[in-house]
Amino acid sequence: MLSVWLVATGTILQLASGSIVPPLFDYDSLTQCRQDHAAAAVFCYVKVITKIDDPFRSALDVNGTRVVQQFRRNLLDHAICVQDCEREVAALSEQDRDRLYCEEFPVEFRHIFSTSYWQEQLEPYQKKYSKLINICVNNRLEQRYNLAYHGYSKIEYCLDNKSATETYDVLKMTFIAIVSALFVTCLYANLCDLFDKNGESTIVSSFSLRRTWTNFTEVSKSDLYKDFAYIDGLRVVINFVILYGHCVIVPTNMPVDNPEDLEQYSTEVATRYLTTMFAFPVQIFFTISGLLLMVNFLRDIKRKPNLEAGYFRSKIVNRLIRLLPVYYFFLLAATVGAILPGVELGLLGYTVLVREQQICRSNWWSNVLMINNLPFYEDQCFCHGWYLGADLQLFLLGLSMLWVIWKFPRAAKVLFWGLGVVSIVIPAVILYRNGIESVMTTRHSQTPFLFMYDEWVREIYQPSYNNINSFIGGLIAGYLYHQIKHNKLNLNNSWLYNLMLKIATPLFVLSILPINLFFTHNVPQWGILLHSILHRNMIVVMVCLGYIKCFQSPKGWARRLLSSRVMTTTGKLCYSSYVLHTLLIRYIVNNSPALLHFSAGDVTVLTLATVGLSYVVSVPVYLTIEQPISTVLKNWYSSSKKPKGA
């Protein structure tokens, strides 16, 4: 059923025609190539750099636009059926072949992913077909588009008609073994549970679908959960926004047949505003992490002022136990995604599966260590995993703060103010020193690289130290909740709180309104800096003021909806759905028989398929991986802490 859905969704993403000449993306039919040439078929993905003078700035920098968002007109993306090229070149005279061949020339911009990850596999194809493809591409540009200039072709990847799934691979075998072990364990546990055998063993109780389902649908009755049940519903809403955003991004990172429509969409004022505000949902997630960490910590202190030895260590271990099983499972899946049984690479298979797989095989360690969000590693594996690394790093920072607050309660205010200032200064210094934009921009010269090399994303958006403001905001909101809950504070008497209530909304609006000016006008660097500080912090202030209002007022319809059983139960699936959704997108796109087409309808189809599939798949993932493995590991950890003989 899942494979049928993937194929059906991929088929909907169909071919149209573009108006940019020569087309930026020109792909032969992989299906036709395989049919025409059977086992001899070789299909290569090629970057073509044409010789035209300064096309990116002079031809595209129109109407005084400061931020050039369009594609480079001198960078073409071709996919070539080599046997068709051989036939075309064979029909040319020796003189024409010499004339059409173009030597490599220096290029000052990034135009290709590093092929070092698969160079050994690629080298035989480069030696055999580089000159042939160079001549073939230039001949096509002349014959089809009457171009007077030529380009240099660089082979990025080639695949033949042999099935990659038939090859032996240690990582593939490891993944299959893990899946098999999970299946056997679940089958054993549920048979034992069904026939009431070994029912009290950790494995049986943890992997029993009946018991896990009961826990999944169970609603906590604690007073603390009643106050914060809406957070689970809020997670669902924010997760949907993030998944939708990633689906919108897909066509900007993939070869499309109508790049002119994509350019038009990207340069519309409304799109610029939406793009720059895409960071907001992630910032809200960080505030949630800080809020819940502080609330639970202060609850624990109230119950037991003298915390048990190892309290903070247990917090870290339990956090890792919850995060790592699902994360590592799908990280491994991404590392073998292109060669799993039943997977046949489609036209866009190299772009969405192979490239990710090869990068992960080299850079997996940065994900395993949860440091892939730091800007020291250019080629990212499992790109969206940056959030998990940043969140864990902020969690460790938060625990350090809580330890200080526990030891020195009076230091809380100084600590909050100090880190608040630091959270503003660090990104401001980085932004000013590197001359980075104040907000996220969509430059199509960068988007084919999945924003891996976009300076704002790598230097400002992803590092944990630039998101301290969001986390600190959540911690402060949690601290105020505790003080208000136990009648230790009346915020209505606070001049600072009352001042923020008055100025927060106008300042937030002010942080949004001038965004388009930064795309169209040369704003001084100090203006960019001030806007960045305002833009990145006012959303945090607004969200945290919203939390505080929720503490002080009865539930309205919005919180009742977010606290409903459907929303709180679905909220338990948000983590798994987030981790696995990009892999689903990759398989959906891999099943597309042609280049993607960018339109509101196509993005809607992709979003519905991605959101629907991610939550459907996350149910068995939650029941067979996330919950049972976490339970087993927590039991093992608890047992290891008990004295021997106890």
CB 336 within 8 A of CB 357: yes
- Beta-sheet strands, E only, within 453-553: none
Contact 85, 127 (CB under 8 A): no
Q: Which residues pair with 256 in a beta bridge?
A: 596
Q: For 323-359, how does the pLDDT look when each residue is reduced to its tens digit (9 = 90+)?
A: 999 999 999 999 999 999 889 999 999 999 999 999 9
18, pLDDT greater than 80: no
pLDDT of residue 321: 95
Spell out where 258-366 has E strands: none
Q: How far is CA 474 from CA 242, 286, 305, in A?
A: 20, 7, 23
| pLDDT band at 5; cut points 50, 70, 90 | very low
Q: pLDDT class for 644, splitting at 50, 70, 90?
A: low
Residue 642's pLDDT band (boundaries 50, 70, 90)? low
Beta bridge partners of 154: 47
Write the CB contacts of 57 (distance below 8 Å, at least 6 apart in sequence): 68
3-class secondary structure, 159:
strand
Q: What is the three-state SS of 234-245? A: HHHHHHHHHHHH
pLDDT tens profile 274-299: 989 989 999 999 999 999 999 999 99
Average pLDDT over residues 582-603: 91
Which pLDDT value is given to residue 111?
87
Q: Rounded to an integer, what distance in angstroms lies between the CA atom of residue 254 and that of residue 256?
A: 6
Better pLDDT: 586 or 306: 586
The larger pLDDT score, comparing residue 313 to residue 196, is at 313
> DSSP assignment, residue 410?
G
Instruction: Give tens-digit pLDDT for 346-403.
Output: 999 999 999 999 999 999 999 999 999 999 877 889 999 999 999 999 999 999 999 9
CA distances in angstroms from 125 to 29, 129, 163, 242, 531, listed in the order given? 19, 6, 17, 39, 50
Residue 308 is predicted with a pLDDT of 81
Burial of residue 484 (CB within 10 Å: 0-12, 13-18, 19+) is middle
Instruction: Output the six-digit token pair for 21.
Output: 């000449």
Q: If 0-12 CB within 10 Å is exposed, 13-18 middle and 19+ buried, where does residue 414 land? A: exposed
Sheet containing strand 151-160, strands side by side: 25-27, 75-81, 42-50, 151-160
Q: Where are the domains of the chain?
A: 25-160, 169-218, 219-640
Which pLDDT tens digit goes with each residue over 212-249?
A: 999 898 888 888 888 899 999 999 999 999 999 999 88
pLDDT digits (tens, 9 = 90+) for 198-216: 667 889 989 999 999 998 9
Query: Under 8 Å CB-to-CB from 475, ≥6 apart: which residues?
Result: 290, 291, 293, 294, 398, 401, 416
Task: State phi, psi for 25 to the nearest 5 degrees.
Answer: -125, 120
pLDDT for the residue 539: 95
Task: Pick the range with the lowest mean pLDDT from 51-65, 399-413, 539-553.
Answer: 51-65
| Backbone Cα Rg of the chain | 27
Tell me whether strands 75-81 and 42-50 are parallel, antiparallel or unpaired.
antiparallel
Q: Which two tokens stand for residue 206?
A: 């943890």
* Helix, strand, coil content of the chain in percent (nearest 5): 70, 5, 25
Residue 446: band (very low, low, confident or very high) from pLDDT cuts 50, 70, 90? confident
> pLDDT per residue over 413-434, tens digit each?
899 999 999 999 999 999 999 9
pLDDT of residue 56 exceeding 60: no
| SS3 label, residue 106 | coil
Rounded Cα distance between 357 and 335, Å, is 4
| CA dist 61 → 40, 69, 398, 619 (Å) | 45, 9, 45, 48
- Average pLDDT over the chain reads 89
Whether 9 shows a pLDDT value over 90: the answer reads no
Q: What's the pLDDT score for residue 379?
A: 86
The three-state DSSP-derived secondary structure of 21-40 is CCCCEEECCHHHHHHHHHHH
Block residue for tokens 């299909």: 43
pLDDT surpasses 60 at 557 = yes
Q: Please give the single-letter amino acid code of residue 359.
A: I
pLDDT of 167 reads: 63
Tell me how crowded residue 449 is: count the other CB atoms within 10 A of its CB: 17
In tens, the pLDDT along 500-544 reads 999 999 999 999 999 998 888 888 989 999 999 999 999 999 999
Query: How many percent of the chain have pLDDT more than 70?
Result: 93
Q: For residue 166, name the pLDDT band (cuts at 50, 70, 90).
A: low
